[in-house]
Amino acid sequence: MPELPEVESLRQMLWRSLSGRRFRRVTIRDSRLRRAVSGELAAAVAGRRIERISRRAKYLLLELAGDLVLLVHLGMSGSLTHRRANFAVTEFDSRHDHVEFELDDGSRLVYNDPRRFGLIKAVPRAELSSLSELKSLGPEPLSPQFSPAYLWRATRGRTAPIKNLLMDQRVVAGVGNIYASEILFRAAIRPTRRAGRITRSEAARIVTATEEILRQAIGCGGTTFRSYRDSRGQPGRFASLLRVYNREGKPCVKCAAIIRAVVLGGRSTYYCPRCQR
Ligand SMILES: [Zn+2]
């Protein structure tokens, strides 16, 4: 499942190739996503110039002329690829090309989603802040609002494991399962620790580790385990830098103790029993 670094990498790539381009025509080939693509989307978006591409949590926001925003979420298996004439489509099953945006230079932006958990919709800019998808999101993990003092306060009185809180989108927006394990390994804090028992200095370590891990992952174009692809259809390269995720039974890279796995909130979680307390 794409997490924040994948979506941020995709945002940066898309902006490099789509900056200033205009949508010439939009074709909805298959509206069946978990929430159906509106039949009005094509007419609403066609003819508009892409003025900016931003991101909130795991949502991409294509900001269009006339104060319309195209909101895109990749769900479990979605991809948004920019296809020029030489684009290699071998990895993509065209049966799952849900929406095709033709651009004014003849290239195409294609939303493909085999498992159909994604979301595409056009929203007037004025309605963005009250949108159900966005309104309850916590601060961005790479923003100054996600500070040690903020995290420390947010964990007070909470008995849930710290990892569950890091993955709670109301506490911090966009940290998912893979990176939560990596962040807590770097911060040397056990994922099962009760959030309310985190000290101020531990909160500071988590905030620092979050920034380091996410920036490193963005620099690698994210992590690909199964389906994530960037705008050119390429996988991310962060998987080789993962230090605990998916390494159950293997030696810790720091101390050689055996990495353990535990299920928290229904998600596989990995930690070193010696390095993380
Ligand atoms: Zn260790």
Which ranges of 120-199 does DSSP label H, i.e. alpha helix? Answer: 132-135, 148-155, 162-166, 177-187
Surrounding ion ligand 1 within 5 Å at CB are 252, 254-255, 257, 272, 274-275
Within 13 Å of residue 232, how many CA atoms lie on the same side as its CB? Answer: 10
Q: Which residue has the higher pLDDT, 220 or 14?
A: 14
Separation of CA 252 and ligand 1 centre (Å): 5
The pLDDT-based confidence of 227 (bands split at 50, 70, 90) is low
Separation of CA 18 and ligand 1 centre (Å): 44
How far apart CA 264 and CA 215 sit, in angstroms, is 25
The pLDDT-based confidence of 86 (bands split at 50, 70, 90) is confident
Q: What is the pLDDT of residues 39-67, one digit of tens each?
A: 899 999 999 999 999 999 999 999 999 99
The pLDDT-based confidence of 226 (bands split at 50, 70, 90) is low
Q: Domain range holding 19?
A: 4-135
φ/ψ bin of 3: left (φ > 0), alpha (ψ from -120 to 50), beta (otherwise): beta
The pLDDT score that the predictor gives to residue 234 is: 75
How far apart CA 162 and CA 189 sit, in angstroms, is 9
| Active-site annotation holder among 58, 190, 229, 260 | 58
Tell me: do 127 and 236 sit in the same domain: no
Mark whether 95 is an active-site residue: no
Tokens 């229904």, residue located: 266
- The CATH number of residue 208's host domain is 1.10.8.50
Tell me: do 125 and 157 sit in the same domain: no
Q: What is the pLDDT of residues 193-212, one digit of tens each?
A: 999 999 999 999 999 999 99
Tokens 């385990």, residue located: 225
Indicate whether 90 pLDDT > 80: no
The model's pTM: 0.88
Separation of CA 221 and ligand 1 centre (Å): 27
Contact between residue 44 and residue 68 where contact means Cβ atoms under 8 Å apart: yes
Q: Which of 112, 135, 158 is the last residue of a domain?
A: 135
Mark whether 100 is an active-site residue: no
Supply the angle between the helices 200-219 and 148-155 in degrees, to the nearest 10.
120
Structural domain includes residue 277: no
Q: What is the pLDDT of residues 93-132, one digit of tens each?
A: 888 889 999 999 999 999 998 888 899 999 999 999 899 9
Mark whether 2 is an active-site residue: yes
Mark whether 267 is an active-site residue: yes
Contact residues for 155 (Cβ-Cβ < 8 A; gap 6+): 162, 165, 195, 196, 198, 203
